[in-house]
Chains A and B, each alone.
Chain A
């Protein structure tokens, strides 16, 4: 079974530009979550999509947005890039959407990430 794929793997942009990252989940997985990883802040949750609907959103400005398509593929967009947006952006897929107290295994499987550098 193919894993989570992300494209592109590396990206260099300049301040003020916008960028779109893509994520294809594991076949059969309908939930996609996005995370930002930086040395200073660690791994931070961006948003989660399930059945083309955003279920959860982390504490990021509105410049960060996303969407999910009917085939469960997801894209995230960052507009008006800032230097601080330089990070590894990770996508994760799971069979079901996350729950706080369900007790079920909503294990997330991570893609290889997109390394974004903003100059």
Chain B
């Protein structure tokens, strides 16, 4: 059964600092998604990673995928308060071919 693990689950950062969120998954999958969720809100799609070595960047966020290591990273550069949210990675591959989510990383950026 596919498992998706994120770490850390909680991350408190100071503005201006860099950090990385890790997403490991347990079985082969050919694509991975990153979503952002603000409190009480729905999920906003951030990145779609479709192949080994894929790297995508949007503003201060950069995501990469290593399918051989079954690892994706979400790197935050020079964090700002607006990035405070919960970030989820998700992979297709459940027993029904559905999307399996990690538990999420709650990011808090403090001035």
Contacts and interface: CB of A to CB of B under 8 A. Distances in A.
A1 interface: no
Contacts of B50: 103, 105
B31 A105 contact: yes
A70 interface: no
Interface string B20-45: 00000000111101010000011111
B48 interface: yes
Q: Give the interface residue-count category, chain A.
A: 20 to 34
B103 A42 contact: yes
A100 B92 contact: yes
Nearest to B94: A45
B48 A107 contact: yes
A98 B31 CA distance: 11
Contacts of B33: 107-108
B24 to A, nearest CB: 16
Interface of A: 33, 35, 42-43, 45, 48, 55-58, 90, 92, 98-103, 105-113
Interface residues of B, number: 28
Interface string B69-111: 0000000000000000000101011101111111110000000
A109 B48 CA distance: 12
B48 A45 contact: no
Nearest to A106: B92
A55 B92 CA distance: 14
Contact of B30 (A33, A43, A103, A112): A103
A105 B32 CA distance: 10
A75 B67 CA distance: 36
A56 B97 contact: yes
